[in-house]
Amino acid sequence: MDNSTLINQFLDHYWLSSGASQNTLSAYRSDLKLFANWFDQPLTNVSDQTIKNYFEHRQLNSMSTATQARILTCLRAFYLHLLTSKIINQDPTAKLHHPKQAQKLPIFLNIDEVDQLLSAPDQKTIFGQRDRAMLELLYSCGLRVSELINLSYHNINLNEEYIRIHGKGNKERVLPMGEVAMDHLANYEKNARPYLLKNGQTDGYFLSNRGTSMSRQNFFYIIKAYALKAGIDKSLSPHTLRHAFATHLVQQGADLRSVQLMLGHSD
């Protein structure tokens, strides 16, 4: 059986058994064809040393560890299929290990940098009042950006000093709000939100200049603009303040499990 037939039969089997996406199937087809062209022999003759030599060959072209891991996953699935189909008697990938991928560390903001970021919005403007309230709430409660921008007006109770969040999987959690955040929320509700509402009707809490709920992209643009204004020379992500919230609590002696619950982590 030639290599093309083996590859096609494997991909058909893999699609039926795993329901893999077309993108995954296309990537695997390309990986197997490149490997077959390099080997230039029947794929049933491959040994573990052959695969090691192939990775050494590919690494000369600066192949990333993520690509190496994908190719090895593909080859393992391919040769497991050949083994269970009794086309080969031994799996050449059995003793191979996935390459260790470099872990991307989250960008860390210290407390002074967080203070600078929170103080960046101009409190004399409607949008500055809204943005300060959003940043304060995001940091003081450790919210996901999606949770922040999807807040409904009835989720926040300033009198009871708590906020009700519907997180991933629609899991609900109730979080206390800090006094500083509550002051800025009260100011936003009194002065900025009625202006942004523009006589319209919406249950969204934080509103854009169009009177509708703010988008994730728009809010992230706002954070980056304020970081630039505050002189913070770090590449921020949507989770930067959430990470800072958790880190600063733990540094101050907070119980790790309590922090996990506030973040909405199940484990």
Question: What CATH number is associated with residue 150?
Answer: 1.10.443.10
Q: Label residue 217 exposed, middle or buried (CB < 10 Å: 0-12, 13-18, 19+).
A: exposed
Instruction: Looking at the structure, tell me whether residues 119 and 217 fall in a common domain.
Output: yes
Question: What is the pTM assigned to this prediction?
Answer: 0.59
pLDDT digits (tens, 9 = 90+) for 24-53: 899 999 999 999 999 999 999 999 999 999
Distance from C-alpha of 49 to C-alpha of 52, rounded to nearest angstrom: 5
- Give pLDDT < 70 ranges for the chain: 98-107, 169, 199, 238, 265-267
Residue 92 included in any domain = no
pLDDT for residue 105: 53
CATH number at residue 63: 1.10.150.130
- What's the whole-number average pLDDT of the chain? 86
pLDDT at site 85: 87
Find the helix packing angle between 3-18 and 65-84, rounded to 10°.
Answer: 100
- Return all residues near 153 (Cβ < 8 A) that are at least 6 apart: 203, 204, 205
Smallest Cα–Cα separation from 145: which of 89, 223, 228, 68?
A: 223
- Looking at residue 236, its pLDDT comes to 80
Domain that holds residue 117: 111-263
Q: Which residues share a beta bridge with 166?
A: 172
Write down the pLDDT at residue 77: 92
Which pLDDT score is estimated for 99?
A: 65
The pLDDT, as a whole number, for residue 100 is 61
Give residue 11's pLDDT: 92
Same domain for 115 and 77: no
**pLDDT attached to residue 267:** 46
Instruction: With respect to residue 41, please indicate whether it lies within any of the assigned structural domains.
Output: yes
Say whether both 68 and 182 belong to one domain: no
143 lies in the same domain as 249:
yes
Q: Looking at the structure, tell me whether residues 122 and 225 fall in a common domain.
A: yes
- Looking at the domain assignment, is residue 169 inside a domain? yes
CA distance 130 to 134: 6
Task: With beta carbons less than 8 A apart as the criterion, state whether 122 and 128 touch.
Answer: yes
- Burial group, residue 159, by CB count within 10 angstroms (0-12, 13-18, 19+): exposed
